[in-house]
């Protein structure tokens, strides 16, 4: 498949917006499935884990490859629940474009904001799909407004719905003026057959006027965003865009339009009813290509987001969405992936997901950025610094996979046989190729910055990565008997390779195994998977919140390390200052600086050892041993006697850090969550009353049709078991989403009671 015909896209949204239902329709219309899967019946292709089917939610992202017309689409269906944010992050890291699915009756919801921010971070061009247009409360204008105000995006509306609620029957494409009506009278109709023709003067006058107005607005909007299109319009066609001829569009476009017309007649006669004159189509296609190309440029430049609508459940509007994916979202070669230039034509791929298969062992999903991958070949894993052999290469098709002889850049591959590789690892063809890329990267970066880079800096340039969020919850996990401890360790190892947001550690005091996860649901699903997939009935201790620590004062300390190991004497003297650092109050990051003379005096190796000592000092705070944030460290002096090992330098700095942090008035920071509750007005006061008892702080109460949307911040420690309480308070009608907002200082009273509790005093 030629690269420009590939689309690597993700489907992302708030929980329950209809991602899985939309994906199922895409698979069905593309011919990959013969029956329509249904989340409510638990028989979808992409939600294949037992827990996903039982709960009707997506937990793991599933990669599916299918063809639509002359394009290959690699699609990843991502989870909407905030506990599985990492799955979305991993998918976005390797995607070129995304479809954001919205419930058209709710517009932008809390988790939509999160995934949108993630897509923004990776600069991913998006298309919006307003799903559930069949719902009585569906509103195009409300959804568009919320995209503008909440996502701060620029929606470019490309379709007008025909009918609303249960009367929603189809769409008019504002670029082509095609009127698409899904014929099926029954809700069970599969939507493959639909009528498609150009709007005619005899059509409903109200619809004609609405389309004219919306199309006029669209032309103006695109002209504002795209100079090339504006130039075209400013000429003699300013009064009548429909009259713009092929003009600047290359001959290829005209030929393509004619070819498309012929192809649609020949290949899909049973699918489409073409009730229009082919000449009109060609004329339209010529101007439409210019129009479409302009919308494409706007989308790729991320100056606007195309908005389409439909109802996946009722099988309406999914084929035009597939067309929009191929028309507006980028091909792999249209995205600037930094890594590619250092590897040139050598293989470079990123492992973004690992799944354990009982028969085949670990299956690793890779996005290939450059070069070609072949089965039965050795690859070099830069992160693990090791060579591994891949036995088979597969195209991912949910839980079934097709074997292939080779796969080139731009594709998503599934490999069998890689036993060491974990999520986030960079895979290249050999150690030599990694070294060559590092040399190129070093040269490039030095030219840009005008000075030499350390080894660490230059090797990090040739690594792709996936950011793993820090877990907010943890609990102990115990096997039923000690004889099962080894099995449990194996299960946890496998699960950790699949899911880097799961962290496992051993409590230094009790020796217990500790599970750290992203939320209650995350831990619950892991517990369930250990039971079902590894046959171990484990016992979980009470769920606890992962706090952080910071300091309130600046302190300068010195430390001397003088140790003799064997024949060698190691001597290090250090002085440093720790201070509160406000810029990192919301993040996990910290800051390390060196006084000028120190910087000039120490070697790059000693500097790396000092950095690593400071970082290890940040790992355990002085109050409760939680990680430290919001602290800057300035290294004032470092004296290292000849013959001293670098490990001793790190150890001395780390001890100095601990001493300084202990004297700097520690403060516990607690995770505070952004809470969004959608609740009927009649239950609002009980939900508010309950929130007040949870130290909640209400930020806003908005109206959404008949419901109220309550926005609040609440300490995570107060939110255990909230779903059950909310269900009771609202007779099961309210929904909520919870997302980490920031780490905030605990008030002195709450902090004292936490410290007492941890010390076993209360």
Q: Which residues bind ligand GTP (CB under 6 A)?
A: 13, 15-21, 39-40, 56-58, 79-80, 131-132, 134-135, 311-314
SS3 sequence of 672-727: EEEEEEEEEHHHHHHHHHHHHHCCCEEEEEEEECCEEEEEEEEEHHHCCCHHHHHH
**298 near 222, Cβ under 8 Å?**
yes
* Cβ at position 55, least distance to ligand GTP in Å: 8
**541 near 512, Cβ under 8 Å?**
yes
Measured from the CB atom, is 17 or 660 closer to ligand GTP? 17
**Burial state string for 710-731 with b = 16 or more CB within 10 A and e = fewer than 16:** bebbbbbbbbbebeeebeebbe
Q: How many Å apart are CA 76 and CA 20, to the nearest integer?
A: 10
* Cβ at position 194, least distance to ligand GTP in Å: 16
Question: Is residue 1 classed as helix, strand or coil in its secondary structure?
Answer: coil
Q: Which residue has the closest beta carbon to ligand GTP? A: 80
Measured from the CB atom, is 135 or 497 closer to ligand GTP? 135
Q: How many Å apart are CA 42 and CA 33, to the nearest integer?
A: 15
* Cβ at position 574, least distance to ligand GTP in Å: 50
* Cβ at position 650, least distance to ligand GTP in Å: 44
Total residues belonging to the chain: 762
* Cβ at position 44, least distance to ligand GTP in Å: 8
Q: How many Å apart are CA 457 and CA 441, to the nearest integer?
A: 10
* Cβ at position 180, least distance to ligand GTP in Å: 16
| Dihedral sign computed on CA atoms, order 336, 341, 346, 352 | negative
Measured from the CB atom, is 38 or 120 closer to ligand GTP? 38
Token pair of 592 as six digits:
């390390």
Q: How many Å apart are CA 341 and CA 440, to the nearest integer?
A: 9
Nearest Cα residue to 171 out of 233, 104, 98, 112: 104
Measured from the CB atom, is 134 or 520 closer to ligand GTP? 134
Measured from the CB atom, is 131 or 707 closer to ligand GTP? 131
* Cβ at position 54, least distance to ligand GTP in Å: 12
Structural element, H or E, at residue 751: helix 748-758
Measured from the CB atom, is 21 or 326 closer to ligand GTP? 21
* Cβ at position 26, least distance to ligand GTP in Å: 12
* Cβ at position 56, least distance to ligand GTP in Å: 6
Question: Is residue 168 classed as helix, strand or coil in its secondary structure?
Answer: coil
* Cβ at position 174, least distance to ligand GTP in Å: 21
Measured from the CB atom, is 85 or 654 closer to ligand GTP? 85
* Interaxial angle between packed helices 318-328 and 19-29, expressed in degrees from 0 to 180 and rounded to the nearest 10: 90
Question: Is residue 554 classed as helix, strand or coil in its secondary structure?
Answer: coil
Nearest Cα residue to 655 out of 562, 585, 547: 562
Measured from the CB atom, is 84 or 380 closer to ligand GTP? 84
Measured from the CB atom, is 127 or 339 closer to ligand GTP? 127
Measured from the CB atom, is 137 or 627 closer to ligand GTP? 137
* Cβ at position 364, least distance to ligand GTP in Å: 23
Token pair of 89 as six digits:
């992050």
Measured from the CB atom, is 40 or 706 closer to ligand GTP? 40
Measured from the CB atom, is 132 or 337 closer to ligand GTP? 132
* Cβ at position 58, least distance to ligand GTP in Å: 3
The CA–CA distances, whole Å, from 574 to 36, 606, 615, 652, 657 equal 67, 12, 15, 7, 10
Measured from the CB atom, is 17 or 308 closer to ligand GTP? 17
Nearest Cα residue to 29 out of 329, 307, 331, 312: 312
Nearest Cα residue to 661 out of 508, 584, 553, 546: 553
The dihedral region occupied by 371, where left means phi > 0, alpha psi between -120 and 50, and beta the remainder, is left
Question: Is residue 513 classed as helix, strand or coil in its secondary structure?
Answer: strand
* Cβ at position 123, least distance to ligand GTP in Å: 24
Angle formed at CA 140 by CA 177 and CA 678, multiple of 5 degrees: 160
């Amino acid at each position: 498949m030629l690269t420009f015909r590939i689309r690597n896209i993700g489907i992302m949204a708030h929980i329950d917006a209809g991602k899985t239902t939309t994906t199922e329709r895409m698979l069905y219309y593309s011919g990959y499935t013969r029956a329509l899967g249904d989340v409510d019946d638990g028989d979808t292709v992409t939600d294949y884990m037992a827990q996903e089917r039982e709960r009707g939610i997506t937990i793991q992202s599933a990669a599916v490859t299918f063809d639509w017309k002359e394009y290959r689409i690699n699609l990843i269906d991502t989870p909407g629940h905030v506990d599985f944010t990492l799955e979305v992050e991993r998918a976005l890291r390797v995607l070129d474009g995304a479809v954001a699915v919205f419930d058209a009756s709710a517009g932008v919801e809390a988790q939509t904001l999160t995934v949108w921010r993630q897509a923004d971070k990776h600069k991913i061009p998006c298309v919006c799909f307003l799903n559930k247009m069949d719902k009585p409360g569906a509103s195009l204008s409300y959804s568009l407004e919320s995209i503008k105000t909440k996502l701060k995006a620029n929606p470019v509306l490309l379709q007008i719905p025909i009918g609303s609620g249960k009367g929603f029957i189809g769409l008019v494409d504002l670029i082509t003026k095609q009127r698409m009506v899904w014929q099926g009278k029954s809700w069970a109709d599969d939507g493959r057959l639909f009528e498609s023709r150009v709007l005619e003067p005899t059509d409903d006058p109200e619809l004609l006027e609405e389309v004219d107005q919306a199309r006029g607005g669209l032309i103006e909007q695109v002209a504002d965003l795209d100079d090339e299109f504006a130039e075209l319009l400013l000429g003699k066609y300013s009064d009548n865009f429909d009259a713009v001829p092929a003009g600047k569009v290359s001959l290829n476009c005209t030929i393509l339009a004619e070819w498309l017309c012929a192809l649609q007649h020949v290949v899909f006669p049973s699918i489409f009813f073409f009730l229009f004159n082919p000449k009109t189509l060609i004329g339209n296609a010529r101007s439409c290509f210019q129009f479409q190309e302009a919308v494409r440029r706007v989308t790729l430049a991320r100056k606007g987001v195309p908005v389409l609508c439909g109802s996946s459940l009722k099988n309406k509007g999914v084929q035009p969405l597939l067309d929009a994916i191929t028309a507006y979202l980028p091909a792999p070669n249209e995205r600037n992936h930094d890594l590619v230039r250092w590897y040139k034509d050598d293989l470079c791929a990123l492992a973004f997901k690992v799944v354990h298969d009982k028969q085949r062992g670990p299956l690793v999903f890779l996005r290939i950025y450059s070069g070609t991958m072949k089965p039965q070949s050795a690859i070099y894993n830069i992160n693990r610094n090791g060579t591994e052999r891949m036995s088979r290469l597969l195209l991912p098709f949910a839980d079934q996979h097709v074997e292939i002889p080779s796969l080139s850049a731009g594709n998503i591959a599934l490999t069998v046989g890689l036993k060491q590789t974990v999520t986030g690892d960079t895979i290249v063809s050999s150690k030599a190729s990694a070294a060559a890329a590092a040399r190129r990267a070093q040269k490039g970066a030095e030219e840009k910055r005008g000075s030499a880079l350390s080894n660490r800096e230059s090797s990090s340039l040739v690594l792709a990565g996936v950011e793993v969020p820090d877990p907010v919850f943890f609990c102990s996990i115990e096997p039923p008997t000690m004889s099962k401890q080894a099995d449990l360790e194996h299960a946890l190892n496998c699960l950790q390779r699949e899911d880097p947001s799961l962290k496992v550690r051993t409590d230094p005091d009790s020796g217990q195994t500790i599970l750290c996860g992203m939320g209650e649901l995350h831990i619950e699903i892991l517990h369930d998977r250990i039971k079902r997939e590894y046959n171990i009935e484990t016992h979980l201790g009470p769920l606890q919140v992962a706090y952080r620590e910071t300091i309130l004062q600046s302190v300068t300390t010195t430390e001397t390390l003088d140790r003799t190991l064997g024949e060698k004497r190691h001597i290090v003297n250090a002085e440093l200052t720790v201070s509160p650092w406000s810029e990192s109050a919301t993040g996990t990051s910290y800051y390390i600086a060196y006084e000028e003379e120190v910087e000039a005096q120490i070697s790059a190796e000693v500097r790396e050892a000092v950095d690593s000592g400071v970082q290890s000092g940040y790992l355990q705070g002085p109050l409760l041993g939680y990680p430290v944030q919001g602290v800057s460290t300035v290294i004032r002096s470092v004296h290292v006697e000849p013959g001293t090992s670098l490990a001793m330098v790190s150890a001395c700095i780390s001890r100095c850090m601990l001493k300084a942090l202990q004297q700097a008035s520690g403060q516990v920071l607690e995770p505070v969550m952004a809470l969004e509750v959608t609740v009927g007005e009649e239950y609002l006061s009980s939900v508010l009353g309950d929130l007040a008892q949870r130290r909640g702080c209400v930020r806003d109460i908005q109206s959404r049709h008949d419901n109220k949307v309550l926005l609040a911040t609440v300490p995570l420690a107060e939110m255990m078991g909230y779903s059950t309480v909310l269900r009771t308070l609202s007779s099961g009608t309210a929904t909520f989403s919870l997302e980490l907002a920031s780490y905030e200082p605990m008030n002195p009273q709450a902090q004292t009671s936490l410290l007492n509790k941890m010390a076993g005093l209360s």
